[in-house]
Structure 1
Amino acid sequence: MGRTKTNSGGGGTSQSPSTSDSSTSTAVAETRIKDLLKELYGLIHQIQDERAQGEHNLTNISKTHERMQQEQKITPYYKNKLKGLYKTAMQDAELEAELLRKALDKITEVKSIRETRRLDSDRPKPIMRRGVLMSMLQQNAQTLPLWVSKPGEKPPPLCGAMPADNNYVAKPGDKVAARVKSDDEENWILAEVVSFSQSSNKYDVDDIDADEGKERHTLSKRRIVPLPIWKANPETDPDALFTKDTLVLALYPQTTCFYRALIHDPPRKPQDDYSVLFEDTSYPDGYSPPLLVAQRYVICCKEDKKK
């Protein structure tokens, strides 16, 4: 006899506990996402209103400077007026920045909930076509949150070139660079964390580009490098970026493998990529022409620079 329960009214078969729990969990997640999106919608409107107010105040500052130039003198009236206008402008900018941080937090939480649902799903991992996979990697790089520092605040670990703390453990679903053996040689590949064992100090990771579904590797912690979880802003946190001629590991365009490269030019604006020179013996000087690689896929290389 099976253990399936039937409804007392003689209706259809009820769901198993695991199915019911899964449905409840999905419903809770969907409700939370809807709430977060509503909050995000409200924040976006607040940001737009605050920006409009800020632009109005900046226009007043510009007009005041024009009047001063026309009169060719700085009176106590203009000094006090400008002081008040600049103070208000600073307050407007700080409020807008705080609203933007809150909006980014909401977006991060939505992405986290969706990633958790994907990992908890019993459905097998789909095999992506090469073009779809490359588009997904590019999108992940473009949507990586930009770290917005407050005055005097230092960027955190895993912001741009900032390394992870020694005791940091990547979470399931996180993307990492993994050093794996294949055909008697070692390569750095892009992988996804499945789990971490505290007792063995080893990760289980899946090759993100396995041809036949999941290709799992069990690797020690020293063979794993977490990828950045924030982009560094070159305009406010240039120290959180790799500098010119730094040796790094970078994801070669249109592949899922990391190779040694030199920084040719770091990003100059928040949306910019690194320009890197990959080691390549087919070129006379041993390096490829400059290629663009997103911050998301440029990590520290502890090996010595090529002689």
Structure 2
Amino acid sequence: MSGGRGRPSLSRKAMPDNELAMTQTWHGLVDTLRLLPTIEDDRPANRQTLDDALDKLSVLIALRRGESVPPETVAASTPGVVMAKRKRSSSPGTPMSRELSGRQQRRDAYADQLPLAPGRKVAFRVPGQEGENWILATVRKCIQQDKMRYEVEDDDDKQTYNTTLRSLIPLPDPNAPIHTSAHPSNLEDFPKNAQVLALYPETTTFYRATVRSAPIPGTGMGLGVRGGSAAPKADREAKAEKYRLVFVDDGDNVLEVHKNLVVPFPGS
């Protein structure tokens, strides 16, 4: 499960006052572009163009500030090799309209957790790759106090990335304040047959999976199984604190994954 995604970082430079103004201008443009996907024209090609523009603007901002930027985002046309942590065929991508809806839902769902604190574990969607490729990462900092922008570190090869909340899914955090939606006591377990994103055992990569059984009642999340009864009966094969999952492209193999490493599949 080696990572092999390390790249030389751009050197850091002090930002002159005029560049600070330019950066602020770019931020204003980005905020404006974020509103465009709400227009009535819902064609996937148009929305993809807008997403690409947002990604490129974020890269320009990072370059202006002398921050580390993954080469695959600086020049998408430049061939690059990103080593998979577990080789398998790519699963179909999420339709654009569902993906955009999922982003808005994530922003709303995580409102009381923002900004994400340094040290927070997240599923991070790696930029510049075809399909959905999510890895385990750690938040290092919030960029310029913008709760939508973060620097994260790959837990496998320690490569750092600048990204936005739309490419992050925070994992449940047992150390979070108990009144927040980050704490397991305020979360639900996924029911049988639910589509989830889960960390494949002994890797640092997330893949789509189908729930075969939720954790034994009382050992999962605090709110119990979503849509379940007040006195649920455990699946006879259920495990304490773990989901039993079948991963996409993995045959009928049933694997166990800890409840804190399973999150909603984007757009589901």
Q: Same fold (TM over 0.5)?
A: no
| TM-score, normalization by structure 1 | 0.38
Q: Rg larger in 1 or in 2? A: 1
Structure with the bigger RCO (C-alpha within 8 Å, sep 6+) is 2
* Greater fraction helix: 1
| TM-score, normalization by structure 2 | 0.44
